[in-house]
A = this chain, B = another copy of it.
Amino acid sequence: MGLIRSWVESANAAECSFPLNNLPCGVFDDGGGARMGIAIGDMVLEVGAVDHGLDPALFAAPEWNAVMAAGPEVWAALRARLTALLSDEAHRAAVAPHLHPLAGLRLLMPFRVSEFTDFYAGRHHAENVGTMFRGAENALPPNWLSIPIGYNGRASSVVVSGTPVRRPWGQVKAPDEDLPRFAPSARFDLELELGAVIGQPSEGMVSVGRADAMIFGYVLLNDWSARDIQAWEYQPLGPFQAKATATSISPWIVTAAALQPFRVSTPERARPLLPYLHEPGPMLYDIALEVGLTPENGAETVIARTSYREMYYSAAQQLAHHTSSGCPMRVGDLLGSGTISGPDRDSRGSLLELSWGGKEPLRLADGQGRSFLEDGDTVTLRGAAQGAGYRIGFGECRGTVLPALRL
């Protein structure tokens, strides 16, 4: 399938992130209040204002939760209708008044996060971190090749791209210190992830195939992490305050429907999976990802390039595992993939890995070194799936580190 042409001309450019093939779901405010929008070219369509053919109640609140709850048939009907409205010149006169230039809009949280779960499902990341913390021979925990390891995060801390992130305080203790101190994190980090947005609820255990169908779409996700707080707190019950300061997501949910042409299989299994984790088909996506780091008053350096296809477990496998104990899932649940690192040094999705725990600081474009984030640094995640003559872009997930508060 090639580009679907739109009468919104900017959407037809090969390098455009938001062609008619994409139709990502967001929430915008042009000063007149928050409304649901769809990105098309360099414009945003106020979707509730056009002849969408669906229950207007789905567009009453500025969040995509009601549409998600309405189910896959509604998702498909909306996509088909928007495709018709934006491709057929006949609708131009009725639709064009509801297009707003993207550049002038404030983009808000696209959905209300019910609960947030973060995984640890990238093998290169797990091996890198494991090697640093436990040595190369114990890099992968014994359960890692059997379980898509996850932990519950904090939904209240999920923020939309552009929200500044305040460097956290926390308990830290260096190996040579007897007692912990309460101090601003000195090893504040980013994590490049993709977030799966759960669009349908479940009770009881669901299969991988059913789990895949429950996913409405995907967002870029930066799971800000305080490595020094994490190192002291995480035994025995896992990360807690180290991950609770903020998790940033991109403002556009790229739907699973838009990503269908880019499905790829998870890698070959190093150990056979238990049957409840078997995938009935390819459930990863080939999405190119990159991380930019921009110092205050400086130029951006792209510090990592990788792909979502590097994951060892798909979001569908993660979700199926999430329900394996009977855990109910809800519309608006958000599942972080885990840090997406590739096999190479410049494909690592965190500064912890890129600077090898601070031992090998990165060199930025302007010559300064970086082990962990400094105040004023801006982190920008980008992602796109490349089709023939078009691309499905995610836009940006951006956040700037503010100095810790003075206590």
Contact = CB atoms under 8 A, between A and B. Distances in A.
Contacts of A28: none
Given A170-B325, A275-B182, A152 B149 contact: no
A120 interface: yes
A171 B236 CA distance: 19
Given A143-B235, A151-B240, A240-B150, A171 B120 contact: no
A325 B114 contact: no
A326 interface: yes
Interface in A311-342: 321-322, 324-330, 333
A245 B405 contact: no
Nearest to A119: B237
Interface stretch (A88-96, A102-110, A226-234, A363-371): A226-234
A143 B324 CA distance: 31
A226 B327 CA distance: 13
Contacts of A226: 325
A166 B327 CA distance: 11
Copies of this chain in the oligomer: 2
Interface string A367-407: 00000000000000000000000000000000000000101
Interface residues of A, number: 61
Contacts of A274: 171, 180-182
Interface stretch (A38-46, A154-162, A213-221): A154-162
Contacts of A146: 171, 179-180
B157 A328 contact: yes
Identify the interface centre among A179, A181, A205, A238: most chain B CB within 10 Å of its CB. Answer: A238
A115 B25 CA distance: 25
Interface in A255-284: 271, 274-276
Contacts of A233: 143, 147, 149
Contact of A182 (B157, B237, B276, B327): B276
Contacts of A245: 325-327
A151 B328 contact: no
A153 interface: yes
A141 interface: yes
A156 B241 contact: no
Given A152-B151, A169-B205, A239 B237 contact: yes
B156 A114 contact: yes
A229 B151 contact: no
Contacts of A171: 143, 146-147, 274, 324
A274 B180 CA distance: 8
Nearest to A148: B240
14 contacts: A115-B115, A115-B155, A120-B236, A147-B180, A151-B237, A152-B153, A169-B205, A169-B325, A180-B274, A182-B276, A205-B405, A234-B237, A237-B238, A241-B321
Top 10 A-B pairs, shortest CB-CB distance: A238-B238, A244-B327, A152-B152, A241-B325, A168-B325, A237-B238, A151-B237, A156-B328, A245-B325, A182-B274
